[in-house]
Amino acid sequence: MPDDTIGIDISKATLDIHRLSDGKMMSFSNCPAGFKALSKFCAQTTVTR
């Protein structure tokens, strides 16, 4: 798995994610359940920054 960059836009209600390598975008709730889902999303690739 190649290193990758993931950008996160944090707002009061959501965490909007963009993975550079494949352009995949996701949105998660800004709450403990959303953090868990974000963690699973980030675990799919080796993140550089």
Q: Is position 49 within any domain?
A: no
Tell me the C-alpha distance between 5 and 20, whole Å: 6
φ/ψ bin of 6: left (φ > 0), alpha (ψ from -120 to 50), beta (otherwise)? beta
Which residue, chain included where needed, has tokens 């960059």? 5
Per the structure, how many domains does the chain have? 1
Q: Is position 20 within any domain?
A: yes
- Cβ(44)–Cβ(6) under 8 Å? no
What residues make up the domain containing 29?
Answer: 6-41
Q: What letter represents residue 8's amino acid? A: I
pLDDT digits (tens, 9 = 90+) for 1-49: 566 788 999 999 999 999 888 899 999 999 999 999 999 988 887 766 6
Q: Is position 48 within any domain?
A: no
For position 46, what pLDDT does the model report? 73
Q: Is position 47 within any domain?
A: no
